[in-house]
Structure 1
Amino acid sequence: MFKFVSGFVRVVRTPLNSVVVQRRSKSKSYRQSYRSCLGAASRLGLTPALTARRLNTSRRAPKSHNDKVNPEQLALLLKTEWKLSYVTPLYQFRHTQLKSYSRQLSAFIAAEKQQGLAVDAEGSQSSFRVSFSVVQGMTETADDAETVLIQIYSKPMFAKQDDPQKSVWSGWLTCINGNPDYLRSLSKDFICLPLFGSSGPEVLTTLVKSWFQQMFDCCFGPLEISHTSLQWLMALWANCHTESNIQHLRMIWTLPVMPPLQITYTVDAQDAWELWSSVRKDSEEESEGGEEVEEGGSIDLKEVMRFVQGLKNHFYRHFRLDLSAGSLQQVSTALGSAKYSGRIKISNSRYMITTLTLLTECALLKMPI
């Protein structure tokens, strides 16, 4: 068996925060357009293909992908914490019109600023310039729409006249390994880029979303990374350890006591790998005929649950606290970090596709039908 090196555990009591859940009604125009995209399927007696409305119970093990993406664009996506949202299908969005969209969004922000609705970002005084671009290679299947990167530039308050504008906001829309049945059920007038990430002043995020909603009759909504999805990320990242050292596996759990108890639980990378390897070996032995799982095969939800339970059991033996009574709030390794609040940071490009595939699935499941 394996032995854990003592991990770092930090217990923090935090004040009880009240959570207000607001239900936003969809616009009438959105309801009409979104229903129209599924109308053909409905008339033919087909089920709108959003499948079972739950996460997959099995997924492919992470593979190191060749760098198909432009290195400069890739660098813009890495090591930045992105706030996630889901986006409903975009009506009459065209990848060939990105230059036009850049001008239109620039004009929209300028108009809002002139009306006093747009607050200057990071002390910017000059007008904002917007750039839309396609991130070539950020797709996995023929049904996936190309990823779109959006950047907003402005000049700092005390910059010289000839100084270049600097990026003050970034965002992207993507679809990686989207559900093929659902994507094929959409009308050709709709483009599905369900996962939206933003980084920068919230006022600019609000303006960008508002412009998209007006232009493409879509809706945005917050995308939390659920307890189960965080556990999937733990297992998927642990599986990468032999190729890319994860350095550590750090978790933050909250327990429902008064006041709430927050626990930071850090496990040595090698110990996490040995536990994961043990779980995989047990699954091989349980499989019919005891055949070995082929390299790069699939990972089952049962394996994820066993892995997490092993971590919980180790913690209970040492501290007599049952993490099963609480909820997982944050996971981090050298490959990236994810928070229940819907924030993600990807630190290693080799497994970006694996992470974005899971998040695309989460976004599609969160969308209203």
Structure 2
Amino acid sequence: MERNQHSVRTPLNSVVERRSKSKSYRLSYRSGLGAASRPCFTPGLTARRLDTSRKAPKSRDITEKMTKEQLTLLVQTEWQLSYVTPLYRFRHTQLKSYSRQLSAFIAAEKQQGLAVDVEGTDNTFRVSFSLVQGMTESVDDAETVLIQIHRKSLFASQNEPLKPVWSGWLTCINVNPGYLQSLTKDFICLPLFCSSGAGALTTLVQSWFQQSFDCCFGPLEISHMSLQWLIALWINCNPESSIRQLKMIWTLPVEPPLKVTYTVNSEDAWELWRTVRKEDRAGEEEEDSIDIEEVTSFMQGLKGHFFRHFRLDLSAGCLNEVSTALGSAKHTGMIKISNSKYLITTLTLLTECAILKMPI
């Protein structure tokens, strides 16, 4: 067995640049919370944590309003996550204008030598903003906005298609109503930003948004607890859409660090999940939810089985990565959602994470 990595595949037979907040952003909180409130010390907002109970995921067809190209991009790409504070005077009706403005901004930065070129120097970039319809879950959710950057060489033929070099999108799924009430009407809440492509272009896009809409961006890591929630939500989908297998990567704090890859068969993971699901729920609404106690019990079952076989206590370590056939997620903030039927479920959790990570 390698010291720095230990891979296990076993059934469970024994167990059934962040800048400071702008003045207008602070005033928005102040007006929403009352004049006597101090934005940086608001107990109602700063004391919030991840929800301890959430709806069990249900299969949902989101392909009716979304284009095939948009759907393919969303579910076949690994995205880097960031949070973004509310956008001041952003308008969904002005997307064509934003496309021109961001294209001009990139060109100007390039002329000043501030933009890092992608695959050569003789490139022109074209930006497109578009709506991704069909992804709202509540009446308060703002429509998702997709941003794409294409490149074309100056020496390319006239009929040569533009090459996509960067994609990103801003979304808001099931955001906390109390948070929205704390904002004035001039702010649009699209707290989750997903990007894929050259880091230099990501920086330029974020810089343009910050200058244009008085917002700020920050990295969004997926916490140890959020990764466990993703495991539970995806496991719960297994009867309708097989997860195939559950793969987890843990890091144990020893010298040198021990990396453990733990893979569980989908049937065994499902049987364990069934044993921890509460049977004494009262009412149909409660039956359609998952509680933190169930998530914790499920993870304890997985770690207990591992300890019985290998005498390694995963509780002492950190969960860094999870993956199933429905998607994968990393602590560093990388996410890939491979099944569109449960896209909304995953984005609801990530939207909540983005709201909680924002500075107040």
Structure 1 contact 227–328 (Cα < 8 Å) conserved: yes
Report Cα offsets for 1:175-199 as digits up to 9, x if no partner.
0000011112210110010000000
2:29 to 25, 38, 55: 38
Matched, 1:306 2:301: no
**Structure 2 residue aligned with 1:279:** 276
Query: Which residue among 265, 270, 284 is the counterpart of 1:268?
Result: 265
Counterpart code for 1:210: S
Q: Distance in 2 between matches of 1:305 and 1:158?
A: 58
Partner residue, 1:316: 307
Aligned to 2:124, the other structure's residue is in SS state: coil
Instruction: State the SS of the aligned residue for 1:127.
Output: strand
Q: Does 1:153 align with 2:150?
A: yes
Which whole-Å deviations, capped at 9, do the CAs of 1:51-106 have from their partners, x for residues lacking one? 73210000000011122441331211112110000000111111111100000000
Cα distance in 2 for residues equivalent to 1:100 and 1:73: 21
**1:110: which partner in 2?**
107
Aligned residue for 2:89?
92
Counterpart for residue 57 of structure 2: 62
Contact 1:38–1:186 under 8 Å retained in 2: yes
Residue type matched to 1:65 in 2?
R
2:19 is matched with 26
Is the Cα contact below 8 Å between 1:60 and 1:296 reproduced in 2?
A: no
CA distance in 1, matches of 2:177, 2:286: 25
**Percent pairwise identity:** 69
- Give the distance between the partners of 2:80 and 2:260, measured in 1 at CA: 23
Q: What amino acid does structure 2 have at the position aligned with 1:220?
A: F
Deviation at 1:35, TM superposition (A): 1.1
1: CA distance, partners of 2:148 / 2:58:
29
Please tell me whether residue 75 in structure 1 is matched to residue 72 in structure 2: yes
Conserved? CA contact 1:42–1:48, under 8 Å: no
State the 1:36 CA deviation.
1.3
Q: Is the 8 A contact 2:18 2:216 kept in 1?
A: no
Q: C-alpha distance in 1, partners of 2:256/2:344? A: 39
Aligned to 2:13: none
Q: How does 1:166-245 map to 2 (within 5 A)?
A: 166-245=163-242
Q: Which runs of 5+ in 1 are unaligned?
A: 1-9, 15-23
Aligned twin of 1:17: none
**Partner amino acid, structure 1, of 2:195:** S
Does 2:360 correspond to 1:365? no
Please report the TM-score for the alignment, with normalisation by the length of structure 1.
Answer: 0.88
Counterpart in the other structure of 2:116: 119
Range moving further from structure 2, 101-110 or 159-168: 159-168
Residue 110 (structure 1) shift: 0.4
The unaligned stretches of length 5 or more in structure 2 are 6-16
* Cα-Cα RMSD: 2.0
Q: Which sits farther off after the overlay, 120-129 or 99-108?
A: 120-129
Number of matched pairs = 343
Deviation sequence 1:247-267 (CA, Å, 0-9, x none): 000000000001111000000
For 1:138 and 1:293, the matched residues in 2 are separated by 25
The CA deviation at 1:144 is 0.8
